[in-house]
Amino acid sequence: MSQANEPKASTMMPAEPPADRLRELFHLCRSSGNTGLLALLGVLFLTFSLYLPGRFATHDTLVSMMFQLPELGLLALAMLFPLLSGGFNLAIIATTNMGALIMAWIMTSYIDSTGSNAGLIVLLALVAGFLACLLVGAITGYLVATLNTHPILVTLGTMSIINGTCVWLTRGKPIAGFPEVLQSVGNAIFLGIPLPFWLFVAATVAVGLLLSRTRFGISVYMVGSNLEATRYSGINTRNVLIGIYTASSVLCWCAAILMMARFNSASAGYAASYLLITVLAAILGGVDPNGGFGKVSGLFIALLVLQVISSGLNLLGVNTQLTQATWGGTMIAVMLVRYLIARFGLFKPRRAVAKSAPGA
């Protein structure tokens, strides 16, 4: 019987629903790592450059941004460790100011008028500040590991103790006047780039290697993913938690040195607004606030994004308080986008559909 008049089977694939296409697009963006953040950074830089011609995309503005970023970047790295473990460290600013005040007091009290012993006293001050921050981190980590209490409550307590003690001892007044050897660190330029920025980049690389290439770093992610499962796998979670908050405090010490070098003073009230921005940078950079996921590279790019926004708004003459409100709004927007993505499964790849062979 002739089949000439029978309709031919269509060889064209059925059109994908728009929702599936959108889901695959989001999945592609996520799998590409930090591409989205880099694109956002490029768009923001281009926008401010066009809107502020001759003012934003200049050598002086770029150098200024690289001078401003390092202390915030180090504090964001200090916040990264607790966040990756599913915790939080409210005391990073207090610890930084405490370390700076201890070092400032030693330098201003024991360097003689001729400055002949400046090198030795600066070294002793750095060691004293390091040991103080190390002790705060170890105690905080021990309390988090043993009290079975959320780290927010523990670090809220340590923050209050440190802040109150520092304000009481200094009467709320700054300590100023450091030797040139310290100030030169905050103002030096190497290969056309500020030395503080080089130090921040070095710290970022070191933290990235620590988290990705060492047993301790892998343990941090495991604790953040599932604390009990990590404990049952044979890892000493108490030591890991102590190490997490100790590493966080050591980075606070690094930030304290840069703040002293740049501001030529130390105070219990410095950098109070940085706490929100460190969390915002981590969340924007892809760190899961519940712990277990996040990369240093994402945090680094997110910090560049926030610095570009801050510098652009400053050149536009936007009020400082309004800029801080912008950070809060940005954080809520990021969390809202994450919720919508999780709610509608935009990051889930579309399931493969089995297709029957022609004529089957």
Q: Over the stretch 341-355, which tens digit does the pLDDT of each residue have?
A: 767 765 554 443 334
185: pLDDT confidence band, cut at 50, 70 and 90? Answer: confident
Tokens 């536009």 correspond to what residue? 316
17: pLDDT confidence band, cut at 50, 70 and 90? Answer: low
184: pLDDT confidence band, cut at 50, 70 and 90? Answer: confident
Q: Over the stretch 80-137, which tens digit does the pLDDT of each residue have?
A: 999 999 999 999 999 999 999 999 999 998 888 777 788 899 999 999 999 999 999 9
Q: What is the average pLDDT across 276-300?
A: 89
% of the chain surpassing 70 pLDDT: 86
Query: Which CATH fold topology does 18-23+33-49+58-344 show?
Result: ABC transporter involved in vitamin B12 uptake, BtuC (1.10.3470)
Among 349, 242, 241, 257, smallest CA distance to 25 is for: 349
Amino acid letter for position 259: M
How far is residue 191's CA from residue 169's CA, in Å, rounded to a whole number?
Answer: 41
Tokens 């880099």 correspond to what residue? 38
Query: Is residue 335 a contact partner of residue 283, using CB atoms and an 8 Å limit?
Result: yes
The answer, yes or no, to whether residue 340 has pLDDT greater than 80, is no
Q: What is the mean pLDDT of the chain?
A: 84
The answer, yes or no, to whether residue 158 has pLDDT greater than 90, is yes
Q: What is the pLDDT of residue 359?
A: 41
How far is residue 138's CA from residue 185's CA, in Å, rounded to a whole number?
Answer: 28
Q: What phi and psi, each to the nearest 5 degrees, are found at residue 117?
A: -105, 15
* Cβ-Cβ contacts under 8 Å for 249 (sequence gap 6 or more): 78, 92, 95, 133, 134, 136, 137, 138, 140
Structure tokens at 121: 């006293």
Q: What is the pLDDT of residue 12?
A: 44
What are the structural domain ranges in the chain?
18-23+33-49+58-344
Q: What is the average pLDDT across 170-190?
A: 87
Query: Is residue 125 a contact partner of residue 102, using CB atoms and an 8 Å limit?
Result: yes
Lowest mean pLDDT among 59-63, 196-200, 293-297, 328-332: 328-332
Q: What is the pLDDT of residue 151?
A: 92
313: pLDDT confidence band, cut at 50, 70 and 90? Answer: confident
Q: What is the pLDDT of residue 21?
A: 47
